[in-house]
Chains A and B, each alone.
Chain A
Amino acid sequence: MDLLEYQGKELFARHGLPVPKGVHASTVDAAVTASETLGYPVAVKAQVLIGGRGKAGGIKIAQDSTEAHEYAGEIIGMDIVGPHGEGPFKVHELWVEAGSEIESEFYASVILDRSAKKLMVMLSRMGGMDVEAIAASDPEALVKQHVDPITGLGEDEARQIAARAKIPEQVAGEVANVLVQLVEVAQAEDATLIEVNPLIVNSDGEVILLDAKVTIDGNSLYRHPELEELPESADQDPQEAMARERGLTYVSLDGNIGILGNGAGLCMSTLDVVAQAGGRPANFLDAGGGSKAEAIIDALEVITSNPEVSAILFNIFGGITRCDEVARGIIEATGKIGLELPLVVRLDGTNSEEGLALLAEAGLSNLHHEATMLGAARKVVELAGN
């Protein structure tokens, strides 16, 4: 789960880390009121789940209420495309915060290094630019250090990291403290990524976390009720939102072939095989062990709520899941939601013969059975059209 900048900063503030004072606003008027309360200059910042907002024009410094009004109006409703072409993300909310006078910009992050099976701290005195750009332009300037999984990051060690990154002496102690605390925040809040870019020194010599990019491990939310209750970003994909409410594992894609598979691996593989057959998958949906009619109704309702979908592929390899149960679910679900789109079904594995017999008996005119995954992929591509 990715946090918006302001949510990340609120998290930092709860842990006593220094962030600018700010106010959340979703209208121009609210942004102006917030600016007046904070006092000028203020930074008016687009809240979308992507970096590079500054370059894209989603961050402006307002010196007075006229500017605050003007910038808030420009930024709300704007589409922001990420540095790697992600999005576009439409701006629905703003974070208005006290403007800082920036003396220097550093880069600090804590990430889960899957390869090393440890947390890794990164620090650079070249902040404000993309970390990949730092690494490319001057690899020496990006200091990386793994965190001991048992003892964590000690103060002395953090000091050494700051020294290696050539952080100026006057603020090195403060920056080291921030690193130690960021590791503690990652551990306490189950964050697999915390990126602060820039970490600044202002004209008063204070160290401040000016940006926040935080990813929380979705498996840990049961122990972070305050994060679980955060409002969802308004720019959510409607099918993904609907699927989440129903507890389905669903990802929207931009094609026209609805996909339902069982098991994450088989489902990913189904997307690939459909693409190889020349088709464009509309989604990833892992039905897991959910073979019961209700689960299939839920899944089909989500898939068909996407108006792009023109045909659906069911790829089931029953292990513990029994194919006769899946077949019953398909028959009941198509009846209940009045599904008319072509439905290609591949049922293999446990009780597949019983399942196929049930489907044949039901005689659904829009249902096509295929024996193999490849055959099913080709069939659904043919039926879906372009």
Chain B
Amino acid sequence: MSIIIDNDTKLVVSGLTGREGSFHGLRNRDYGTQLVAGVTPGKGGQDVEGTPVFNTIAESVDEAGANTSMIFVPAKFAAAAINEAIDSGVETVIAITEGIPVMDMLPTYWKAREKGVRLIGPNCPGVLSPGKANVGIIPAQFFDQGRIGVVSKSGTLTYQIGNELKQAGEGNSTIVGIGGDPIVGSDFIDILTLFEADDETDMIVMVGEIGGDAEEKAAEFIAAEISKPVVAYIAGFTAPPGKQMGHAGAIISGSSGTAQAKQEALEAKGVRVGESPTEAAQIAVEILGSL
């Protein structure tokens, strides 16, 4: 089954005519994802290497049957593009764009919730269901198909862990980058819920980092609702308070959002936390072997 994207995903890319959008959109198509449309206002009727371009996302839904939208639009216009996608009739919106102002994301977050549209990101590497579909910028060569679900705030850290799992002979049902912004469409809890219900996922690796309390809330949720084993890794133990560590959301404010607090919250609920990405991957392999 996998989660969020699979063989039935029909992808429309907002920004397909741009440099980044076309590079990654076409890579996703080469991987086997059904890329059915691109959207750029004013460029309707053109095509990008055979993929038709529409003026609006709604047209791509009506005319090309798109059900999943990827947003590759510059930050200034990205929230508007996400809003357009939410109204267009697609089920899922995956926003890759980095640098969207948080005041733009607040109403957009609530709009997606209200309309029941799944929003992933922004500021995320996308979603990969190995062997089925790839939407975003995750390099698929580092992941094999398998039974471990991965949910992560960070891109490169996910590649690191995925690659270690692959070298150990394990693979993934789906890899979900939820993004490193303070406000993202889907949190750990949303994705854990999907993995729990997915019959191709036997266990879950969760990769968090400093800032906010999504990991702490996930710890509570895992204890109450998740029956599958979860292994975690948290980055940022050496981060000083008040400094933004690359991601807009990766900041310790006062004494809240520390890696220490997140690790303690997870361990208190019986979730094993790896000291390094390598150790997290090793624990995952060990647990999977014992299932």
Contacts and interface: CB of A to CB of B under 8 A. Distances in A.
Interface string A253-294: 100000001111111110111111000010010100000000
Nearest to B247: A264
B139 A269 contact: no
Contacts, number: 165
Contacts of A150: 107, 110
A265 B209 contact: yes
A268 B246 contact: yes
B142 interface: yes
A276 B276 contact: yes
Contacts of A275: 237-238
Contact of A373 (B152, B160, B207): B160
B57 to A, nearest CB: 22
A30 B210 CA distance: 43
B18 interface: no
A37 interface: no
12 contacts: A84-B254, A84-B255, A114-B213, A187-B103, A219-B101, A219-B248, A222-B76, A268-B154, A268-B209, A319-B155, A319-B156, A319-B159
A265 B212 contact: no
Nearest to B208: A265
A222 B76 CA distance: 8
B156 A268 contact: no
Nearest to A272: B237
A253 B241 CA distance: 11
B277 interface: yes
Given A86-B242, A190-B103, A251-B240, A349 B207 contact: no
A317 B160 contact: yes
Contacts of A276: 275-276
Interface-central residue, A86, A192, A262, by most chain B CB under 10 Å: A192
Contacts of A284: 239, 243, 245-246
A220 interface: yes
A273 B236 CA distance: 10
A190 B241 CA distance: 22
Nearest to B210: A268
Contacts of A273: 276
Contacts of B160: 266, 269, 317, 348, 373
Contacts of B110: 117, 149-150
B65 interface: no
Interface of A: 84, 86, 112, 114-115, 117-119, 132, 149-150, 186-187, 190, 192, 217-220, 222-223, 249, 251, 253, 261-269, 271-276, 281, 284, 286, 317, 319-320, 348-350, 372-374
A114 B184 CA distance: 9
A20 B242 CA distance: 28
Task: List 8 tightest A-B contacts by C-beta distance, closest first.
Answer: A265-B154, A264-B246, A263-B156, A265-B157, A220-B101, A266-B156, A268-B235, A319-B139
A269 to B, nearest CB: 4
Interface in B201-215: 207, 209-214
Nearest to B255: A84
Interface in B59-111: 75-76, 99-103, 106-107, 109-110
Given A117-B109, A317-B163, A217 B103 contact: yes
Given A149-B106, A273-B276, A373-B160, A114 B212 contact: yes
A188 to B, nearest CB: 9
Contacts of B235: 265-266, 268-269, 272
A218 B244 contact: yes
Interface string B188-206: 0000000000000000000
Interface string B144-173: 000000001111111110010000000000
Contact of B278 (A115, A268, A373): A373
B182 interface: yes
Given A265-B180, A269-B157, A276-B275, A117 B106 contact: yes
A264 B98 CA distance: 12
A266 B278 contact: no
B138 interface: yes
Contacts of B250: 264, 268
B139 A86 contact: no
Contact of A265 (B103, B156, B163, B244): B156
Contacts of A349: 139, 142, 159, 163
Contacts of A350: 139, 141
Given A190-B103, A220-B101, A276-B276, A317 B238 contact: no
Nearest to B113: A117
Contacts of A320: 137, 139
A186 B103 CA distance: 9
Interface-central residue, A84, A112, A218, A263, by most chain B CB under 10 Å: A263
B217 interface: yes
A84 B236 CA distance: 19
Interface in B227-263: 233, 235-250, 254-255, 259
Given A269-B277, A319-B159, A114 B183 contact: yes
A119 B106 contact: yes
Contact of B238 (A149, A192, A253, A266): A253
Nearest to B217: A115
Contacts of A219: 75, 99-102, 248
Contacts of A271: 236-239
B157 A374 contact: no
A178 B278 CA distance: 52
Nearest to A264: B246
A190 B207 CA distance: 29
